[in-house]
Structure 1
């Protein structure tokens, strides 16, 4: 399981000011989208509260989003499991997502023809165990 956090450059004004939902919604945002979607999961959470955010930048790659956010005042909202171990390499601060949120679960998807293949079963289990350990370790270290 994982949760959303906000990533900003480490000298972003929100690092000192703190962030509530109104400040969050009023800033410009970066969105990681591979299919050109206009909204992310966070936008639907905001809509439940009658809020919206301005997506100023859409990029298809996680690393590109981090590099761009490091040089702008944009906010990137992403799963902690993705940003927890590499944000510091880009000079980024991780802030708590300013809304109540339910944790979400990652899924591993494969073609049904590999369902009973021993090597594939072994590999899926390995991926599951490694990712679970990594995300759990990151959450234990999490300060947000």
Structure 2
């Protein structure tokens, strides 16, 4: 049995090697050595930039916080048709204006559900085999 397996393996390898020869179907392949060298990319100098003087204030025109808010919430840019359709499908026309600001406001009234709800939400997933109920001590 072992001898037959080695013979079959040998014949299979010979068959695969024969498929690599040029006597079979001769396909047109790209020449991997016919690659033209391109000039390396060069960043042109920007003559309008000057190095900052020591001890001077930064010259950036916008506040980083404003840039972050524009990136997150779109700034004053108009919405695309697909974004408008998505917001409308999600009920964006019925949302209260400024809801993002109200949610993070410290004066917003929230209900403290207590540690039980927090424990339920933070509980690991499982099949329930290890679940136990807590009984108060008498």
TM-score by length of 1: 0.17
Which has the larger Rg? 2
More strand by share: 1
TM-score by length of 2: 0.18
